[in-house]
Amino acid sequence: MLSVKGLRANVGENEILTGLDLEVGPGEVHAIMGPNGSGKSTFAHVLSGREGYEVTSGSVQFDGHDLLELEPEERARLGLFLAFQYPVELPGVNNTYFLKAALNAIRKSRGESELDAVSFMRLMKERLKVLHLDDSLLKRPVNFGFSGGEKKRNEIFQMAMLEPRLAILDETDSGLDIDALRIVADGVNALRDPARSMIVVTHYQRLLDYIEPDHVHVLARGRIIRSGGKELALELEERGYGWIDEVAA
Amino acid sequence: MTPGKGAQGQGSPAALFQDWLPAAGRSTGQSLPWLAAQRVQARARVRELGVPSPKSEGWRYSSLSPLLEQGFRAVGEASGEAGSALDPGALQTLLIPELRSHRVVLVNGRFDAALSALGTLPRGVRIGGLRDSLARDPDALEGLLTSVAGDGSHVFTAINTASLDDGVVLLMERGALLEEPLEVIHVALPASADARGHELAPPVAHPRLLFSLGDGAQAEIIERYVGPGGGPSCTNAVVEIALGRGALLRHRRIQDEHADGFHLSGVYLSQGADSRYEGINIGLGGRWARTDLVMRFTGEHAECDLRGLYLAGDRQLLDYHLDVHHGLPHCASRENFKGILFGKGRAVFDGLVYVAPDAQKTDAAMSNRNLILSPNAEVDTKPQLEIYADDVKCSHGTTVGQIEPEMLFYLRSRGISAGLARRMLCLGFAGEIIDGLGPAALREHVTEQVGARLEQAPL
């Protein structure tokens, strides 16, 4: 489904990704772990098409498309979804209106008709429940004045509405207390599907207690230096990231 | 006289403005000495003030040349009659279908009884054309008309007073309540042809509006400035508002002139003790539009809330001047104007809040925020506080920025196209002002108009 080969990317003069390889198959959940500054978020951003990164070499294929050639909205319409580490507040942009515009843009690109108001409302209420979110959220501006936990839950709510083929969760656990973490993880697990893949980017192993990965990768200095099963996450938890410098050097 | 006369007349400014004035002795209410005296005085004031110099403080940012080049002439003088008429079918296209109101239609400043639909008015409320009101009951207007606007230092107000002939009057007795809004539709028509088919000089209209609310009276007024287009038109309106003790007025003004529309309006407000004024000024259309909001408190514990939204694109100048004078203690004012500029659009926000030495416990906050969508658009913003009292709470702030790339990316990452994402963010920015508009039909109408304007914008 996703095939990343030799990906190198710069921010300004600095090379952040230094030859990253990753293969993600349908239905698989991959965790990417690594210390601060290892390039985890950069990788998530490059996949989603954020500006400010210059890809110098390598390729990213997504369902047969050259992902790097596409605009962010085109990637989203193909089924890519990024759950932001810092969801952006959009004052004055109503949450319902926003979700409807997003869902209809995606449906239209697939040749599907727009959802009518009643079906859309029903779908929203059903998905809200899974995330333990209140209906009043639909009337508020997107993320505006939301607590940290509400913002993260709203990301997963959007994911539930847009039903992506590949979801990238960028540090979704950061800033969440244990109860909020459990709700978010339940929401993510409810979306696990043989046709839906996920990349879970995280600093801590904690999230992986709730969202169990099929594969764990260690990212350091812009490339993956070790890959393994879920037991690798536990090993990292025990040993910390100190040993990585020697391996990566 | 030919349409080119004005442009040629630029060498002699006083002569230029003579074209804007009607011939002396032809106006309504000529038999009323108090009104005749006002007109004569205003005429002298026009000569005295002349054409504002581009170097004068109030005119530094907005050139008068585009206005003067049109060669506008007073309505009725060129044609020798009441000016062009609007047929009822054409009016239909200018109405907001769902909006229920007591409707007054002014065509080039002239009250049109046939197009107006006043409906049944509640007790203690009088609404009518200014000319009719002066003919029927001049005593009710003496001491009120021209008293709020005064002579002023504004030459266009003086021109309006010197030309004072028709407009709208709303008189509300103590405690009166107007449940449905009064809607004043100003229709600006371009030049008409004379009997021999020669095109006449484009007209300037000078409507005068007087809204007087007695103690405790409450009303909502919607003013809409529109026109079918087809050539230059100009409206030079003066609105006088007097609020009694504890009165409440919600005043929505939608300037949505056509692409060749020129617009001047002076809104003069006098607020009694404990009164509240909520004004929302929306600037969407027109080629050249200037609005002056001048307010004074005449009693303590009054509140004035001025909000605005302007959208300026190619070939547009939208210019706002606020003059809020806190002369008495314990009054509050809010000034919140937002602008969206695109193409080669230009806007001016020149806001002054003055707090006199005796105006202790004044609470004032002024804000002007602008969103610039193109490198060729421009805004001059000058919020000013002048404070001479020492126990006050006053603040001001201004921002000029672009759409945040972060916000844009967030929307695009959800599958929304860049163009729609920009429009959504602009509407979100404008929403803070638009959401204050009632009734719902008006709010939806303005939202649609703003959305349509943004769709034309080269984003």
Nearest CA in chain B to A141: B428
| % helix, strand, coil for chain A, step of 5 | 40, 25, 35
- What is residue B302's three-state secondary structure? coil
- Chain A residues whose CB is inside 8 A of the B427 CB are 92-93
Token representation of residue A176? 């969440």
- In this predicted structure, what is the pLDDT of residue A167? 97
Our CA angle for B133, B135, B139, nearest 5°, is 70
Give B355-389 pLDDT, tens digit per residue: 999 999 999 999 999 999 999 999 999 999 999 99
B430 and A72 in contact by Cβ < 8 A? no
| % helix, strand, coil for chain B, step of 5 | 20, 35, 40
- Chain A residues whose CB is inside 8 A of the B409 CB are 50-51, 72, 88
B429 and A73 in contact by Cβ < 8 A? no
Question: What's at B266, amino acid-wise?
Answer: G
Residues 6+ apart with CB under 8 A from B198: none
CA distance A241 to B249: 66
- In this predicted structure, what is the pLDDT of residue B201? 87
**What is the per-residue DSSP string for B176-224?**
-B--SPEEEEEE-----B-TTSPBPPPEEE--EEEEEE-TT-EEEEEEE
B410 and A91 in contact by Cβ < 8 A? no
- Chain B residues whose CB is inside 8 A of the A72 CB are 409, 412-413
On the question of pLDDT at B241 being above 50, the answer is yes
Indicate the range of B83-97, B116-130, B296-310 predicted with least confidence.
B83-97
What's the rounded mean pLDDT across residues B289-297?
97
Residues 6+ apart with CB under 8 A from A141: A89, A90, A91, A92, A93, A94, A95, B428
Shortest CA distance to B36 belongs to which of B46, B20, B45, B25? B25
**What is the per-residue DSSP string for B97-163?**
TT---EEEEEETTEE-TTT-B--PPPTTEEEEEHHHHHHH-GGGTTTTTTTTT-S-S-HHHHHHHHT
B424 and A101 in contact by Cβ < 8 A? yes
- Decide the pairing of beta strands B233-243 and B125-129: unpaired
What's the rounded mean pLDDT across residues A134-149?
92
CA distance A16 to A40: 9
Q: In chain B, what percentage of residues exceed pLDDT 70? A: 93
A73 and B425 in contact by Cβ < 8 A? no
Interface membership of B424 toward A (CB under 8 Å): yes
> What DSSP designation does B56 have?
S
What's the rounded mean pLDDT across residues B404-409?
97
Task: Select the more confidently predicted residue: A242 or B206.
Answer: B206
Interface membership of A158 toward B (CB under 8 Å): yes
pLDDT band at A112 (very low <50, low <70, confident <90, very high): very high
Shortest CA distance to B305 belongs to which of B284, B334, B282, B283? B334
A51 and B405 in contact by Cβ < 8 A? yes
CA distance B425 to B431: 10
CA distance A98 to A105: 11
pLDDT band at B180 (very low <50, low <70, confident <90, very high): very high
pLDDT band at B344 (very low <50, low <70, confident <90, very high): very high
Measure CB to CB from residue B424 to each of A72, A73, A93 and give the nearest one: A93
B407 and A109 in contact by Cβ < 8 A? no
What's the rounded mean pLDDT across residues B410-432?
96
CATH number at residue A197: 3.40.50.300
Give A157-194 pLDDT, tens digit per residue: 999 999 999 999 999 998 898 988 998 999 899 999 99
Residues 6+ apart with CB under 8 A from A184: A131, A152, A153, A156, A172, A173, A176
Contact A150, A132 (CB under 8 A): no
Min Cα separation B433/chain A (Å): 10
CA distance A159 to A162: 5
On the question of pLDDT at B10 being above 60, the answer is no
- In this predicted structure, what is the pLDDT of residue B237? 97
Task: Select the more confidently predicted residue: B198 or A44.
Answer: A44
What ipTM was predicted for this assembly? 0.96
Shortest CA distance to B26 belongs to which of B78, B104, B86, B85? B78
- Decide the pairing of beta strands B248-255 and B218-226: parallel
Residues 6+ apart with CB under 8 A from A194: A26, A27
On the question of pLDDT at B79 being above 50, the answer is no
CA distance B132 to B106: 13
> How far is it between the farthest Cα atoms of chain A?
58
- In this predicted structure, what is the pLDDT of residue B24? 65
B420 and A87 in contact by Cβ < 8 A? no
- In this predicted structure, what is the pLDDT of residue B7? 38
- Could you tell me the sign of the dihedral formed by the alpha carbons of A191, A197, A203, A209, in that order? positive
Is it true that the peptide bond before A35 is cis, omega within 30 degrees of 0? no
Beta bridge partners of B223: B184, B253
A98 and B406 in contact by Cβ < 8 A? no
Contact B228, B258 (CB under 8 A): yes
CA distance A72 to A76: 6
On the question of pLDDT at B28 being above 80, the answer is no
Nearest CA in chain A to B403: A90
**Length of chain A measured in residues:** 249
Question: What's at B174, amino acid-wise?
Answer: R
CA distance B259 to B314: 10
Contact A33, A202 (CB under 8 A): yes
Interface membership of A50 toward B (CB under 8 Å): yes
CA distance B156 to B135: 25
Residues 6+ apart with CB under 8 A from B218: B176, B177, B178, B247, B248, B249
Helical H segments across B12-126, by residue range = 13-18, 33-49, 65-68, 88-92
- Chain A residues whose CB is inside 8 A of the B414 CB are 73, 76, 98, 102, 105, 158, 162
> What DSSP designation does B193 have?
B
Token representation of residue A36? 């601060």
- Decide the pairing of beta strands B332-341 and B303-312: parallel
CA distance A56 to A54: 6
Give A39-48 pLDDT, tens digit per residue: 999 999 999 9
**Which residue of B340, B409, B423, B432 is the best one to mutate when testing the A interface, meaning the one whose CB has the most A CBs within 10 A?**
B409
Beta bridge partners of B424: none
Interface membership of A91 toward B (CB under 8 Å): yes
Min Cα separation B432/chain A (Å): 7
B406 and A84 in contact by Cβ < 8 A? no
B415 and A105 in contact by Cβ < 8 A? yes
Task: Estimate to the nearest angstrom the gap between the alpha carbon of A61 and the chain centroid.
Answer: 17
CA distance B397 to B54: 26
Interface membership of B408 toward A (CB under 8 Å): no
Hey, which residues 365-404 in chain B have their CB within 8 Å of chain A?
404
On the question of pLDDT at A52 being above 80, the answer is yes
Phi first, then psi: give them for residue B90, nearest 5 degrees.
-65, -35
Size of interface A-B (CB pairs under 8 A): 80
**Domain count within chain A:** 1
- What is residue A232's three-state secondary structure? helix
On the question of pLDDT at B151 being above 80, the answer is no
Nearest CA in chain A to B430: A92
Residues 6+ apart with CB under 8 A from B80: none
Question: What's at B343, amino acid-wise?
Answer: G
CA distance B237 to B207: 5
On the question of pLDDT at A220 being above 90, the answer is yes
Q: Which domain holds residue A175?
A: 2-248
Token representation of residue B110? 């002239």
CA distance A137 to B54: 51
Min Cα separation A48/chain B (Å): 7
Measure CB to CB from residue B416 to each of A49, A84, A101 and give the nearest one: A101
Interface membership of A53 toward B (CB under 8 Å): no
- Buried-state track B117-140, b at ≥16 Cβ within 10 A, e below 16: eeeebeeebbbbbbbebbeeeeee
Give B252-286 pLDDT, tens digit per residue: 999 999 999 999 999 999 999 999 999 999 999 99
**Which residue of A90, A109, A163, A170 is the best one to mutate when testing the B interface, meaning the one whose CB has the most B CBs within 10 A?**
A90
